[in-house]
Amino acid sequence: MLHGSYVDTMPSSADVIFDCIRVTWVAMIICILFFDMELATALWTGLVVGIAYTLFVRAMYRSQLAALQREQAREQERRNAVAAAAAASPTGPASPAEGASPLENHPPAPPPVANAV
């Protein structure tokens, strides 16, 4: 199931901008330290990485939100179908999944047999 507060809403614009700046800065530092790039080249590289990361994260949030909405719609349809079946049945719910006790449809167990010694 896809429940959790991290997929309930899209991040705010401030969060997205902060993430882009943070990833840009980290990528720029990595480019300077490990790839010996000039500052301007490292900044442009970091900016491209930051924007790509931001777009990827937003696409993932959209995907997760769409999946959550589909799951909630299926659950609501299932509840509506169960309620409609229970309302249409004159005796009430017939199966354990619809709310009937599983013991209602079974005969009682036979009495235990005493051991003869």
**In the chain, domain spans:** 13-86
In 3-state terms, what secondary structure has residue 14?
Answer: helix
Cα–Cα distance, 23 to 31 (Å, whole number): 12
**Strands of the chain, DSSP E:** none
Per DSSP, 106 falls in state: S
Helix (H), strand (E) counts: the chain: 2, 0
Read off the tokens for 82.
């169960």
3-28 pLDDT, tens digit each: 555 556 778 889 989 999 999 999 99
Taking the model in full, what pTM does it have? 0.60
pLDDT tens-digit readout, 22-65: 999 999 999 999 999 999 999 999 999 999 999 999 999 999 88
